[in-house]
């Protein structure tokens, strides 16, 4: 299931921070990809988080954040930026620009810390915005529990369908897959190369931070408009009770 769009009809602000994060991640990747192999190795050595170094040398702690702006491939970058594009704007609208930026960075660091705690002696560098994106997904479920998301589901290539799914289902399945893959990676049953617990850690941080940072009026508006999309009868009942209009 690949998300491609959600409902933005009642978003009141321009998601400037989401745009900035998208541009920054792409710019960092392109500049790194266009550099020489030596310069690429130097960039990853300086800014990627290596668990064994983080647990032994406090001077490397800033890499818990800087690693979230590095990506290993176009596919890695594209997947993260797609999820940020679909879900980030509404979360930014609910939190506000400054709080959203703080939220994103904190979720990214939380994801890095979670992976380091699970594998403190690891020597494989951690890179990618996945922890921060996982936090955004968690915030979306908290703030827009009845949200609907247009997705692409591939049946047998090139056959696919375009269902509209509840956000809680799409994101819930995604989280369960990350958690299960993380557990199997600890037993050696799953292949390496993916920091699953960075996803889990970022998601848990997002659940905790979303309610703490959200502006109350945006939370109510976000929940109510999703009620309207899913259950028109319930939306009309809320409208009569609160004397509001859609």
The CATH number that applies at residue 70 is 1.20.1540.10
User: What does the DSSP assignment read for 3-39?
Assistant: EEEE--TT--S--HHHHHHHHHHHHHHHHHHTS-HHH
Q: Which helix (H) or strand (E) holds 159?
A: strand 159-161
- For range 31-40, the mean pLDDT: 94
Name the catalytic one among 71, 112, 185, 199. Answer: 199
Q: Please give the share of the chain, as a percent, with pLDDT higher than 90.
A: 65
Q: CA angle, corner 88, sides to 8 and 114, nearest 5?
A: 150
Indicate if the pLDDT at residue 241 is higher than 90: no
pTM to 2 decimal places: 0.84
Task: Give burial (CB, 10 Å; 0-12/13-18/19+) of 140.
Answer: buried
> What pLDDT band is residue 231 in, cutting at 50, 70 and 90?
very low
Indicate if the pLDDT at residue 197 is higher than 50: yes
The predicted structure's pLDDT at residue 228: 37
Lowest mean pLDDT among 45-49, 204-208, 241-245: 241-245
Residue that wins the pLDDT comparison between 193 and 14: 14
The predicted structure's pLDDT at residue 163: 85
The predicted structure's pLDDT at residue 195: 87
Told to judge if 9 belongs to the known catalytic residues of this protein, a careful annotator would answer no
Tally the domains of the chain.
Answer: 1
The four Cα atoms 74, 77, 78, 79 give a dihedral, to 10 degrees, of: 130
Told to judge if 199 belongs to the known catalytic residues of this protein, a careful annotator would answer yes
Alpha-carbon dihedral sign for residues 8, 235, 97, 149: negative
Indicate if the pLDDT at residue 230 is higher than 90: no
- For range 82-106, the mean pLDDT: 95
> What pLDDT band is residue 5 in, cutting at 50, 70 and 90?
confident
| Among the listed residues 207, 202, 229, the one whose alpha carbon sits nearest the alpha carbon of residue 143 | 207
Rounded Cα distance between 189 and 79, Å, is 24
- For range 120-148, the mean pLDDT: 94
Return the DSSP state at 163: -
Indicate if the pLDDT at residue 227 is higher than 70: no
Indicate if the pLDDT at residue 120 is higher than 50: yes
Q: What is the pLDDT of residues 6-31, one digit of tens each?
A: 877 677 899 999 999 999 999 999 99
Mean pLDDT across the chain: 85
The predicted structure's pLDDT at residue 52: 95
Indicate if the pLDDT at residue 243 is higher than 70: no
Do residues 4 and 81 lie in contact, with contact meaning Cβ atoms separated by under 8 Å? no
CA distances from 62 to 48, 50, 109, 174 (A): 9, 11, 9, 28
The predicted structure's pLDDT at residue 154: 80
Name the catalytic one among 71, 112, 130, 185. Answer: 130
- For range 103-120, the mean pLDDT: 96
Residues 6 or more apart whose Cβ sits within 8 Å of residue 220: none
Q: What is the pLDDT of residues 135-166, one digit of tens each?
A: 999 999 999 988 999 988 887 777 778 888 89
Indicate if the pLDDT at residue 53 is higher than 70: yes
Range of the structural domain that residue 203 is part of: 2-242
């Amino acid at each position: 299931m690949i998300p491609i769009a959600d409902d933005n009809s009642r978003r009141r602000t321009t998601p400037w921070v989401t745009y900035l994060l998208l541009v920054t991640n792409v710019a960092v990747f392109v500049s790194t990809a266009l550099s020489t192999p030596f310069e690429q190795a130097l960039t990853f050595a300086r800014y990627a988080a290596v668990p064994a170094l983080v647990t032994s040398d406090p001077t490397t702690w800033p890499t818990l954040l800087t690693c979230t702006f590095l990506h290993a491939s176009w596919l890695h970058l594209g997947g993260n930026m797609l999820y940020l594009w679909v879900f980030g704007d509404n979360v930014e609208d609910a939190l506000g620009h400054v709080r959203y930026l703080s939220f994103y960075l904190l979720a990214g660091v939380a994801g890095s810390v979670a992976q380091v705690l699970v594998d403190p002696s690891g020597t494989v560098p951690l890179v990618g915005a996945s922890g921060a994106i996982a936090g955004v997904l968690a915030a979306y479920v908290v703030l827009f529990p009845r949200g609907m998301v247009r997705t692409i589901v591939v049946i047998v290539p090139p056959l696919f369908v375009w269902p509209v799914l509840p956000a809680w289902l799409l994101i819930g399945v995604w989280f369960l897959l990350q958690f299960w893959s993380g557990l199997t990676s600890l037993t050696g049953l799953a292949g390496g190369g993916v920091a699953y617990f960075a996803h889990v850690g970022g998601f848990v941080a997002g659940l905790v931070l979303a309610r703490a940072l959200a502006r109350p009026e945006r939370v109510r508006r976000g929940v109510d408009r999703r009620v309207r999309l899913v259950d028109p009868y319930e939306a009309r009942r809320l409208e009569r009770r609160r004397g509001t209009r859609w």
